[in-house]
Amino acid sequence: MAKGKVQEGRDRAQQALDAGKKAARAARSELDDRMAGSQGDGDESVAD
């Protein structure tokens, strides 16, 4: 019985970890896009 509970807990933890990784990947991608966009604008204003 206890073994089943431990496995259930591990499965839940793994699912939470996977969801966290997916969210972090999406946030990082969005941040990279924003940085690239704002950096481009910055370069243009500096060039002027």
Q: According to the model, what pLDDT value does residue 39 have?
A: 57
In 10 A of CB 4, how many CB atoms? Answer: 8
pLDDT tens, residue by residue, 4-42: 899 999 999 999 999 999 999 999 999 998 888 765 555
Q: Which residue has the higher pLDDT, 24 or 44?
A: 24
Within 13 Å of residue 35, how many CA atoms lie on the same side as its CB? 6
In 10 A of CB 20, how many CB atoms? Answer: 10
Q: According to the model, what pLDDT value does residue 5 have?
A: 92
Q: Cα 12 vs. chain centroid, distance in angstroms?
A: 19
Report the length, in residues, of the chain: 48
Instruction: Answer yes or no: is pLDDT of 45 > 90.
Output: no
Look up residue 4 and give its two tokens.
Answer: 């089943």
CA distance readout (Å), 40 to 27, 28, 29, 43? 20, 18, 17, 5
